[in-house]
Amino acid sequence: MATYDTLFQALGLKDWCDSSASSAPMSMSDLVSKSSGDGAEQQTSLWNTPFPSLDTLNDACPAMPQSRAVTKGLEEGFLNIKDSLKVVLDPATQPLSWMLDGALYAMLSTPWWLVIPAILMIVWAVSRSAGLVAFVAVSFGGLAFIDQYDYAIQTLSIILVCAFLCVLIGVPIGILMSRSNGLRRAIIPVLDMLQTLPPFVYLIPLIFLFSVTESKLFGIAIILYAIVPVVRLTDLGIRLVDKDVIEAADAFGMSRHQKLFGVQIPLALPNIMAGVNQTIMMSLAMVVIASLVSAPGLGVLVLRGIRNLELGVGLVAGLGIVLLAVILDRVTKAALARINTTHQH
């Protein structure tokens, strides 16, 4: 006799319960209780009353579904729509795979004595800081010296491709959001969700949607996770542009297009760049986790360190990640500072 028998009796549902027994297979706990218990009356005190969960109710009334059915239903539902989703998503995301594979191939097949100077030149162009260039040179030299060069370059390529796409997609979304309060209200919950969902959770549906051998799998995971700040800060930056300046632009008859590119984006640039900085840092965090789903790079070594308890391997890879993080952060911050000084608002 289960706790909620009386409830079903009171509702007059006894017949319905008995008529159609749940078709779900017996769970382990069912089996255990069946074999141990002999059907004796178990009196439950008020203190011990279980929550009327699906499983508990199922005890009292076999016609009720068990919680397992929910899990199973979700899974089946997902698998059912998966094929039709794939028809749309596969071609739409294919370029991502090409870009990632292309970038990885290009960076790895170009000799190191071209790649490292190219990186240094980019750092110089962006930051104009000799100290930073020296720091990057020493870091990459050091990583290459202990044979971490290939891994570091893989990680860096993935980050650059994903951060680039985040900016490419995120900035226009942010601009649209700044223009329409309705759209903003619709998008903000999505951004909140993307930001609060633990990174591992993204991976589960993605693994089923895409094959683990495709690079777009981790590409999408990284982009979904890292795109949030650049969208938010673009929206914020444009909304924060001085109202008087916008009014002046309107008063002299600027078109929306002229206003956007001549006033709003330039004045929002410090905020947008702060978003890009955060996006890059979040890409780096995610690229390590994404090595669980075959993203190459330093993350793979960290994973190996954890799996095989190879402490040294894990620590060295961790050091590499820290160096990359510092480099990316410093370079984007230096770029940001340069933008700020030309704005001196």
Partner 1 sequence: MTDQNETPETRVSLKQLYKIFGDDPETAMEHVRNGLSKADLLDQHNHVLGLNDINIDIPDGKMTVIMGLSGSGKSTLIRHLNLLIRPTDGEIEVDGENILNYSEAQLRTLRQQKMSMVFQKFGLLPHRTVLENAGMPLAVRGFSKSEWAEQARKWLNRVGLDGQENQHPNQLSGGMQQRVGLARALTSNAPIMLMDEAFSALDPLIRTDMQNLLLELQEELQKTVVFITHDLDEALKLADKLVILKDGFIVQQGEPQRILLEPADAYVEEFITDINRARVLRVRSVMRTGADPKSSSGRVEAIGADDTLESALAKAKGDTSVCFKVERGGKVVGQLDMTDLVRALVPSAPPEDGNTARKVA
Q: Which residues bind partner 1 (CB under 8 A)?
A: 242, 244-245, 247-255, 258, 262-263, 266-267, 342-345
Query: 39 or 253: whose CB is closer to partner 1?
Result: 253
- Angle subtended by helix axes 311-343 and 112-127, to nearest 10: 40
Closer CB to partner 1, residue 267 or residue 328?
267
**Among residues 22 and 340, whose Cβ is nearest to partner 1?**
340
Q: What kind and span of H or E run contains 133?
A: helix 130-145
Nearer to partner 1, 107 or 267 (CB): 267
Give yes or no for a contact between 153 and 107, defined as CB atoms under 8 angstroms apart. Answer: yes
Nearer to partner 1, 6 or 258 (CB): 258
∠ CA(23), CA(26), CA(28), 5° rounding? Answer: 160
Distance CA 221, CA 212 (A): 12
Q: Which is nearer to partner 1, 14 or 338 (CB)?
A: 338
Distance CA 316, CA 159 (A): 19
Query: Around Cβ 206, how many Cβ atoms within 10 Å?
Result: 19
Residue recorded with tokens 């990174």: 199
Whether residue 213 contacts residue 220, with contact meaning beta carbons closer than 8 Å, is answered with no
Q: How far apart are CA 184 and CA 153, in angstroms?
A: 37
Vertex 337: Cα angle to 333 and 340 (nearest 5): 135
Neighbours of 126 (CB within 10 A): 15
User: Residue 205 Cβ, how far from partner 1 at the closest point, in Å?
Assistant: 42
